[in-house]
């Protein structure tokens, strides 16, 4: 069909202009994709949440502890399958920029609650037996070149001092949504040391992790747990792991909103750029559209020509932008992997890239189409020569 | 023997243009007929309204008042879409600047109007090849307009105009952008189309030599059409 040939050839008649427009779209889609991936990374903890895990913390704030003795009462709540507990340790490895999340946990119950952390049986048993033992995720181990058996020293920030751990295992995630940058060790090791150094902080936990028998029991169990400790010195707030993680995201909502606004602005800017290109090309070809109208081609044909050209340019830029998003995301992940353990291009981001490109193509073509189909043939023909 | 119906009947035609706050009359009360198989040259000074009249007959501009019947159809009553469909099958256009689509080859340019017909791909190819033979450009069918001379481009434009076998051919200064030799070839071709194939041609020109190729010459001056003068352009 000549209309297809015309629109394809028209798209490349002014190679410099088309090239620059495609480049602009490529950069815009790349930026949009990176920003969307950043937003996804923010929500990755939420996405990876389990429906059968609850988190119980102090109802005032996460920084206030709970007595370790609560664990026995929580175990009695109908619907509770397993109880684990832990503390955010906040240790620094060598220097602050080497950040990775590190926790003191009850090893057996913690690993049982997180079957997505894959650890060999040998390493698991060695870890259980060694009170100073620790397990770290594959990515953090690779980053610092650790080997099983190495002594890892963390500088405590919440719990002052130099803390030495022996790496007893390296876990990997069951799939690519699992954070492989965590470091965890025996809660007992932390507690016993704290008993000697700061006794008033002993026997306190930062959070409880509760496994429920089925997702539909989660709400009832949460209410029951909080009911147990109502009017006590340390009231609890129990929520699903998803709600707990969403709470963290909510703390940075302003940043997320800013990122989302910027990603939309990028699309609006490129829409203006493509609209300008299409307006220029249409103005140049108004005589040719008049010829086509003279020959009997109607509004649909003329509209298809302009929309098609807009689509060719935009889709090319979109594909190039998507192709570049993957290496760009890999670079960002390499550089900021400790802050964003899950940083990958999601399927939804790709759909949004295409949707944005489609929106840009259609929006940019609307005014030129109206102008081209609205012009009187005689007037259009006068522009030739 | 009954008199033959004219192919074009123009009655009480008025056309004016708006220039800012002013209405400028271009054609006033024009009435005339064009017989089937006629080769009419419309002459007149610049701004006399001859191109406007041609555009109105070809259905690419709309009248203020009056009627234009072409092949029995009153085209002044047709809507934009109907008019586009009518032009596709009833009128062939030849322009001063050829107006070929630059990104299409000679073959594709000629084939362009056939895409609005129900012809198959093979039928289209057959029509185009035959028409390009008619204008002696079979050997240039795969060339783009920029690779052709002005005369060759105008012959491609003529091929495009006749490929759908329209009832009338309209030509607006078809030799205005050509050298004398090429102009002569184009006019000879148009004359052949008229004499040998019986095509009705309406040609606007201000060139008396071009008008000599027509059978009938009419002068338009200040929006008024003078009587026909066969072969008397001067």
Closest Cβ opposite residue A295 in set B52, B88, B177: B88
Looking at chain A, how many residues does it have? 385
Contact status, residue A297 vs residue A1, Cβ threshold 8 Å: no
A62: DSSP letter:
T
Please judge whether A6 and B85 are an interchain contact, meaning their C-beta atoms are less than 8 angstroms apart.
Answer: no
B3: DSSP letter:
P
Please report which residue ranges of A198-229 form alpha helices under DSSP H: 218-228
pLDDT number for residue A1: 65
pLDDT at B165 over 50: yes
Which B-chain residues 95-124 have CB contacts (< 8 A) with chain A?
95-97, 99, 101-104, 108, 111-113, 115-116
In chain B, which residues have their Cβ closer than 8 Å to the Cβ of A384?
A: 95, 97, 99
Contact status, residue A329 vs residue A353, Cβ threshold 8 Å: no
Contact status, residue B202 vs residue B27, Cβ threshold 8 Å: no
Per-residue tokens: A200: 């008033």
Q: How far is CA A91 from CA A64, A206, B133, in A?
A: 18, 15, 87
3-class SS of residue A166: strand
Residue with tokens 């289209």: B124
Per-residue tokens: B26: 């271009």
pLDDT at B108 over 70: yes
**H or E element in which residue A19 lies:** helix A15-47
Q: Read off the pLDDT band of B233 (50, 70, 90).
A: very low
In chain A, which residues have their Cβ closer than 8 Å to the Cβ of B61?
A: 376-378
Rounded-to-integer distance, Cα B109 and Cα B99, Å = 10
- Radius of gyration of chain B from Cα atoms? 18
Q: Which residue spans within chain B are E strands per DSSP? A: 8-19, 22-34, 39-43, 65-70, 73-74, 91-94, 168-172, 200-204, 216-221, 224-225, 229-230
pLDDT number for residue B1: 46
Please judge whether B115 and A6 are an interchain contact, meaning their C-beta atoms are less than 8 angstroms apart.
Answer: no
* Mean pLDDT across B176-202: 90
**H or E element in which residue A295 lies:** none
Contact status, residue A289 vs residue A305, Cβ threshold 8 Å: yes
| Sheet strands side by side (includes B22-34) | B22-34, B8-19, B65-70, B73-74
Q: Which of A376, A381, A382 to mutate to test the interface with B (most CBs of B within 10 A)?
A: A381
Closest Cβ opposite residue A2 in set B55, B84, B115: B115
Residue A377 in contact with partner chain B when CB distance is under 8 A: yes
Looking at chain B, how many residues does it have? 234
Contact status, residue A120 vs residue A169, Cβ threshold 8 Å: yes
CA angle at B130 for the pair B127 and B132, rounded to the nearest 5°: 105
Please judge whether B93 and A6 are an interchain contact, meaning their C-beta atoms are less than 8 angstroms apart.
Answer: no
Per-residue tokens: B92: 């062939």
Per-residue tokens: A43: 């929500």
What is the pLDDT of chain B when averaged over all its residues? 89
Please judge whether B84 and A297 are an interchain contact, meaning their C-beta atoms are less than 8 angstroms apart.
Answer: yes
CA angle at A317 for the pair A314 and A319, rounded to the nearest 5°: 105
Rounded-to-integer distance, Cα A38 and Cα A256, Å = 9
Rounded-to-integer distance, Cα B155 and Cα A376, Å = 26
The b-or-e profile of B210-233 (16+ CB within 10 A means b, else e) is bbbbbbbbbbbeebebeebeeeeb
Rounded-to-integer distance, Cα B101 and Cα B153, Å = 11
Q: How far is CA B113 from CA A296, A303, A368, B75, in A?
A: 7, 17, 24, 20
Q: Which residue of A has its CA nearest to B92?
A: A295
Burial of A202 (0-12, 13-18, 19+ CB in 10 A): middle
Residue B88 in contact with partner chain A when CB distance is under 8 A: yes
With the C-alpha atoms ordered B18, B14, B174, A288, is the resulting torsion angle positive or negative? positive
Rounded-to-integer distance, Cα B65 and Cα B80, Å = 17
Contact status, residue B175 vs residue B207, Cβ threshold 8 Å: yes
Burial of A204 (0-12, 13-18, 19+ CB in 10 A): middle
The b-or-e profile of A318-329 (16+ CB within 10 A means b, else e) is bbbbbebbeebb
Rounded-to-integer distance, Cα B183 and Cα B200, Å = 19
Reported CATH class of domain B36-61+79-230:
alpha beta
The one-digit pLDDT tens for each residue of chain A (385 residues) are: 677 888 888 889 899 999 999 999 999 999 999 999 998 888 877 777 788 899 999 999 888 999 999 999 999 999 999 999 999 999 999 998 888 999 999 999 999 999 999 999 999 999 999 999 999 999 999 999 999 999 999 999 999 999 999 999 999 999 888 889 999 999 999 999 999 988 888 999 999 999 999 989 999 999 999 999 999 989 999 999 988 888 878 888 888 899 999 999 999 999 999 999 999 999 999 999 999 999 999 888 999 999 999 999 999 999 999 999 999 999 988 887 777 878 889 899 999 999 999 999 999 999 999 999 988 888 888 877 5
pLDDT number for residue B112: 92
Residue B87 in contact with partner chain A when CB distance is under 8 A: yes
Rounded-to-integer distance, Cα A23 and Cα A17, Å = 10
Contact status, residue A65 vs residue A57, Cβ threshold 8 Å: no
* Mean pLDDT across B189-202: 91
Please judge whether B101 and A381 are an interchain contact, meaning their C-beta atoms are less than 8 angstroms apart.
Answer: no
User: Residue A67's closest CA among A200, A175, A193?
Assistant: A200
Residue B220 makes CB contacts below 8 A (sequence gap 6+) with B42, B43, B44, B48, B49, B50, B53, B226
CB atoms within 10 A of CB A147: 8
Rounded-to-integer distance, Cα A269 and Cα A356, Å = 12
Residue A303 in contact with partner chain B when CB distance is under 8 A: no
pLDDT number for residue A43: 83
User: β-pairing, B200-204 with B39-43?
Assistant: parallel
In chain B, which residues have their Cβ closer than 8 Å to the Cβ of A296?
A: 84-89, 113, 116
pLDDT number for residue B234: 43
Residue A225 in contact with partner chain B when CB distance is under 8 A: no
Q: Domain extents for chain A? A: 2-45+253-382, 60-234
Per-residue tokens: B163: 């490929």
CB atoms within 10 A of CB A122: 11
Rounded-to-integer distance, Cα A128 and Cα A107, Å = 7
Residue with tokens 């003191």: A104
Half-sphere exposure of A68 (CA within 13 A, CB side): 15
Q: Which of B57, B81, B102 to mutate to test the interface with A (most CBs of A within 10 A)?
A: B102
Q: Provide the number of CB pairs (under 8 Å) joining chain A to chain B.
A: 71
Distance of CA B69 to the CA centre of its chain: 16
Residue A77 makes CB contacts below 8 A (sequence gap 6+) with A221, A224, A225, A228
Cα dihedral: A161, A164, A170, A174 (round 10): -30
pLDDT number for residue B159: 93
Residue B17 in contact with partner chain A when CB distance is under 8 A: no
Instruction: Compute the nearest-CA separation of A383 from chain B (Å).
Output: 11
| Helix A253-284, helix A15-47: angle, nearest 10 | 160
């Amino acid at each position: 069909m000549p209309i297809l040939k015309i629109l394809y050839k028209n798209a490349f008649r002014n190679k410099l202009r088309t090239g620059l427009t495609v480049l602009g779209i490529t950069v815009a889609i790349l930026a949009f994709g990176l920003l969307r991936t950043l937003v996804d990374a923010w929500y990755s903890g939420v996405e990876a949440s389990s429906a059968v895990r609850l988190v119980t913390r102090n109802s005032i704030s996460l920084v206030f502890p709970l007595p370790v003795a609560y664990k026995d009462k929580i175990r009695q709540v109908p619907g509770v399958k397993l109880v684990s507990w832990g503390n955010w340790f906040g240790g620094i490895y060598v220097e602050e920029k080497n950040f990775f999340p590190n926790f003191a946990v009850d090893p057996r119950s913690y690993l049982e609650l997180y079957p997505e952390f894959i650890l060999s049986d040998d390493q698991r048993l060695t870890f259980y037996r060694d009170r100073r033992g620790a397990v770290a995720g594959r990515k953090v181990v690779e980053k610092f070149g650790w080997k099983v058996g190495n002594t890892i020293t963390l500088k405590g920030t919440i719990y002052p001092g130099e803390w030495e751990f022996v790496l007893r295992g390296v876990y990997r995630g069951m799939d690519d949504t699992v954070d492989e940058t965590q470091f965890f060790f025996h809660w007992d090791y932390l507690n016993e040391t704290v008993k000697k150094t700061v006794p008033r902080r002993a026997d306190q936990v930062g959070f409880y992790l509760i496994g429920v028998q089925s997702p539909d029991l989660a709400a009832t169990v949460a209410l029951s747990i909080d009911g147990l400790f109502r009017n006590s010195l340390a009231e609890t707030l129990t929520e699903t792991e998803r709600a707990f993680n969403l709470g963290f995201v909510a703390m940075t909502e302003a940043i997320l909103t800013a990122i989302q606004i910027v990603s939309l602005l990028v699309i609006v800017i490129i829409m203006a750029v493509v609209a300008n290109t299409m307006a220029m090309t249409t103005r140049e070809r108004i005589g040719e559209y008049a010829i086509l109208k003279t020959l009997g081609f109607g509004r649909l044909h003329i509209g298809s020509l302009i929309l098609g050209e807009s689509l060719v340019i935009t889709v090319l830029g979109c594909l190039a932008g998507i192709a570049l998003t993957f290496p760009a995301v890999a670079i960002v992940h390499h550089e900021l992997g400790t802050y964003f353990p899950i940083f990958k291009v999601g399927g939804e981001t790709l759909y949004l890239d295409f949707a944005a490109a489609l929106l840009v193509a259609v929006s940019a073509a609307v005014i030129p189409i109206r102008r081209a189909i609205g012009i009187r043939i005689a007037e259009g023909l006068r522009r030739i020569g | 023997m009954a008199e033959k119906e004219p192919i074009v009947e123009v009655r009480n035609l008025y056309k004016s243009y708006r220039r800012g706050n002013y209405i400028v009359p271009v054609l006033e009360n024009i009435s005339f007929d064009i017989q089937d198989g006629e080769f009419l040259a419309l002459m007149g000074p610049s701004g006399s309204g001859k191109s406007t009249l041609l555009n109105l007959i070809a259905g690419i501009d709309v009248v203020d008042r009056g009627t234009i019947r072409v092949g029995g159809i009153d085209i002044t009553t047709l809507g934009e879409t109907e008019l586009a469909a009518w032009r596709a099958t009833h009128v062939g256009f030849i322009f001063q600047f050829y107006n070929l689509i630059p990104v299409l080859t000679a073959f594709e340019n000629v084939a362009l109007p056939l895409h609005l017909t129900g012809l198959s791909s093979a039928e289209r190819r057959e029509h185009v090849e035959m028409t390009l033979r008619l204008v002696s450009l079979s050997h240039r069918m795969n060339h783009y307009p920029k690779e052709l001379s002005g005369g060759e481009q105008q012959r491609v434009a003529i091929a495009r105009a006749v490929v759908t076998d329209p009832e009338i051919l309209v030509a607006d200064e078809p030799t205005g952008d050509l050298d004398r030799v090429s102009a002569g070839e184009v006019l000879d071709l148009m004359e052949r189309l008229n004499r040998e194939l019986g095509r009705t041609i309406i040609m606007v020109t201000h060139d008396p030599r071009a008008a000599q190729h027509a059978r009938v010459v009419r002068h338009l001056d200040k929006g008024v059409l003078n009587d026909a003068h066969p072969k008397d352009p001067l």
